[in-house]
Copies of this chain bind each other. A is one copy, B any other.
């Protein structure tokens, strides 16, 4: 589908429904009953397509909705005044985007599609209203926010105390785990992001990321063909992450 055709279909003609979505075990509706799902369906009325390279939202944009990734892949990144940029996360199907905007009513980071993607938009104030009626939904929403905080703790640990190869190993293990949870192979994957984006996320330069990939390949831990990665020895990646520094 061309970019312009995708734009024309910005409001999808198909009925968007959590109740019939194959991501409902990963997304916001986890653990909700049929009647509850119907209520959520009313809320999630809008599906949006985001072509590769385009932002779903930008820092400074007024915050209105949370977004659940339906298909595709995103990165979120923050920037300081002087232009330094930091990728703060990568999001795949079933994951939620936009939590950063709740605090200030404006988004504080950019969310950019790394491939042609679709999201479900959930107007936040309506979602808040609904969570007051549906305790299960409220509970789950709070868990999603809390887990994001815990995930970021993990990234801080990585950035604060791991060496380059350990960081990349942790990153790859995290990716494969999330892919496996979505029914994909845990051993072969195609990276959606560049070496530079991986580096930004891991606090490394792209050359260092590239060297680490090559090292892993030389050691027989991975097979690397540009962005196509095959994990040959996952347990050695695991070792690397759990290893003491020096």
Partner of A109, one of B83, B143, B153, B244: B153
Q: Are B243 and A82 in contact (CB under 8 A)?
A: yes
Comparing A13-21, A144-152, A219-227, the segment that makes contact with chain B is A144-152
Is residue A99 contacting chain B, with contact meaning CB distance below 8 A? yes
In the bound complex, residues from chain B placing their C-beta under 8 Å from that of A162 are 84
Closest to A142 in B: B102
User: For the complex, would chain A's binding face be called helix, strand, loop or mixed by DSSP majority?
Assistant: helix
Q: Quick one: which of A66-117 are within 8 Å of B by CB?
A: 78, 80-86, 88, 99-104, 108-109
Given that A100-B149, A109-B153, A153-B109 are known contacts, is A142 also in contact with B128, CB under 8 Å in the complex?
A: yes
Q: What number of A residues sit within 8 Å (CB to CB) of B?
A: 52
Partner of A153, one of B78, B84, B144, B245: B78
Q: Quick one: which of A125-151 are within 8 Å of B by CB?
A: 128, 131-133, 135, 138-139, 142-150
**Further contacts, 17 of them, CB under 8 A, given A86-B156, A102-B145:** A78-B157, A82-B243, A86-B161, A88-B157, A100-B146, A103-B143, A103-B147, A104-B146, A104-B150, A108-B150, A132-B133, A142-B145, A148-B149, A152-B155, A160-B201, A160-B203, A161-B203
